[in-house]
Amino acid sequence: MSHEQEGLFASVDALLEQVNAEDGLPEPAERKRLRKAAGLSQEQVARALDVRRESVTSWEAGRTEPRQPQRAAYLRLLEGLAARYPAPSIAAPQLMPEPAPVSAPAPAATPAPAAAGPLPTVRRAAAKKAVANSAPPAVTDPRFAHGPLAVLDGDGSAYCVGGLVLDCPATDIVSLVEWALNEAKLGASRLHRSGKDADPLVVVTAAAAERLGLPAVLEDRRGLRLPEAHPTVKRITKAKWKLTRRGFGPWARVYRPARSGQRQCVQFAVLPWGALDARAWGSADRFPPAELARVLGSYATRVITPRGSTAVSGLELMTALRPPTRAVKDQRSEAWVSGPMPGSLAEAVDPAPPEAPDEHPVVAALHPRGHQRTPADVLDEEAFDWIRDPQLLTDAECTRKFAVGIDVNTAFLAAANRLVVGLGAPVHVTAPAFDKTVPGSWLVDLSGIELDPRLPSPFTPDGVRPHGPAWYATPTVAYAHELIATYRLPVTLTPVEAWIRPESGSYLDPWYKQLSEAYKATMADLGIESGMDERDFLTAMETCKTGDPGMAAVLSAIKSTVKGGIGKLRERPQGAGYRPGERWPALERPTWRPDIRAAVISTARVNMHRKLLRTALATQRAPLPDGHLHLADDALLPVALLSDCAVYFADGPGPLDFLPHTPEGKPAPGTFRLGVSPGMVKHEGTQELLWAVKMLDEGHNPARHIKGTDAAIDGE
């Protein structure tokens, strides 16, 4: 190629760059609005475009512009989203009255089931026009064209995600079931190819409950269900529909046996009966129907369509992402049959005796009623609840001004990441050699590991040094070996016996990924992005939950889903009629697995302790001699722990006043890091030092009250 030709080519390339710069790419703020309106996270966009998430952040902030070929693909994405989620007109609220509901039947090309930005009012005609002029839409299941759920109000308006309003003519539960299954186009596609599609969810407001003939309150406060003689229950039965064992209560399921492999089931959430627990959802049940549809739709799109409490949803999410079975071909008949899914929990198994709660039949078979199990009988893996002996406070600590709490983001979720757990039944072994790669429970004496008395023991929930042999989950024993090897402690560990699970895998990995993406996407909606400067992060966290109450409710529900889902792995018996030693329904679930719950909590607790120790070592000036873990007086040590919250004494009121950093200003390696991701920490609260010292003297845990949002200690 001649120099002249190279020059011509360079001129053409420059001209092309100029054309690309004027290709109609929306303004940065509009790019962000469109992504949020579709309920997409920056990481999802980055994966689709094969770039780093930070690149998407920069494009939305206007710091950089995408280059080809990603630019053309990004433009195509934004054009498609703009057609689905047009920017609302500023004058629309003054010029347009509340839209009348439209009839349910509609073309499949309707707004996609996601809406995480400002809720637009969408008329059906406008929606049809927008889609007609758009690029080819993303692949959507036409059966569920109107999204996963609808919030039904008293005038028959059914509010769906994306601002869509359907007209629902039903005036009783049976006709509502028929409408939801045959006309409404509600539901969600399965999360795993071998799983099940999500059933339609109809959320019933107080006004809708009256329209449907449901009482304003449930008289049966214990059973939380309508009596069998109620007209609604009779009508359901007469129409050949069925109710689950829990009947028609706050969360109800009306179904018929599947036909031709197709499920016939509708879920109901009755708001006036307390379907949305305020501990998980805040005041979401008082939101207007359209806003509630946005909130529940965001949760359904990012996590799972709610099927009960957030704890129930957390457990259901595990099964939806890891179905117990899959279709396999029978070698003899060549027919497709149901077979176990590798890596899943395929069947219910009984726990090992130390893993079982007191009520379980395996405990009743070993111990007489009333026997108090000792640490040598029972696995006690729980979260920290520890305070330091006030006599062990140093003079230097008592000269500081503040008690500052830091809180680990979704600590149990972070612990589930890449955690290997047992998949099958336990196997008993005696005098085993410990293997940190094998999940199980181990009877071993950890009392020989001596730590600085100002630190909690990592092996017990109350932080007290153990006495003699006790049962521990694999992560706890692995951490004991880590301490011995790292700090050359003169201790040898010899397990007496163990219950191990040779079949194992990272069962919770998809669950972790789904919930961590949901958590980060919702935090981004609240203005908290990954990679923020520490000071910017702390400033943004102070106001994030007041900016969008709807997304704050979603965030609360996601966090409750994590904790509740882990808790459900060891669901205890319920009901006054239960007798110890009897089986209860939860035991028949493959996901009733107290050993997995123990492994998650054990991992979260040792993760916390590891960071406590490394923070202390990063702040003391003298190096730690080999052979012991007694820290210097200038080491930064906690004064209280409660699950994922740690309280420190500091000269200033914030985390940056005490968390250690390198000379370059980076967090010290292995210590607590401020940020939004699971496992990183945020500011939990600050109180005066004398307040915390008084609580320690009285035996109370400052970490429980560091936020200052309760007055339990003063008896108020």
pTM of the model: 0.81
178, 191 in Cβ contact below 8 A? no
Predicted confidence at residue 109, as pLDDT, reads 35
Distance, in Å, from the CA atom of 461 to the CA atom of 381, rounded to the nearest integer, reads: 7
Predicted confidence at residue 76, as pLDDT, reads 83
Q: Which residues of the chain have pLDDT under 70?
A: 1-23, 88-140, 261, 709-716
DSSP letters spanning 575-603: STT--TTS--GGGGSTT--HHHHHHHHHH
Which element (helix H / strand E) includes 198? none
What is the per-residue pLDDT across 54-91, written as a single tens digit (0 to 9) for each?
Answer: 788 888 887 778 888 888 888 888 888 887 777 764 33
Which element (helix H / strand E) includes 630? none
Sign of CA dihedral 490, 494, 499, 503: positive
Predicted confidence at residue 1, as pLDDT, reads 55
Distance, in Å, from the CA atom of 48 to the CA atom of 135, rounded to the nearest integer, reads: 17
Distance, in Å, from the CA atom of 597 to the CA atom of 602, rounded to the nearest integer, reads: 8
Predicted confidence at residue 89, as pLDDT, reads 42
Predicted confidence at residue 276, as pLDDT, reads 98
Task: Return mean pLDDT, the chain.
Answer: 88
Predicted confidence at residue 119, as pLDDT, reads 33
In whole angstroms, how large is the CA radius of gyration of the chain?
28
Q: Which of 380, 517, 519, 531 is nearest to 443 (CA)?
A: 380
Predicted confidence at residue 282, as pLDDT, reads 96
Predicted confidence at residue 127, as pLDDT, reads 33
3-state secondary structure of 698: coil
Distance, in Å, from the CA atom of 502 to the CA atom of 342, rounded to the nearest integer, reads: 14
Predicted confidence at residue 8, as pLDDT, reads 54
Predicted confidence at residue 4, as pLDDT, reads 57
Predicted confidence at residue 10, as pLDDT, reads 53
344 CA to centre of own chain: 19
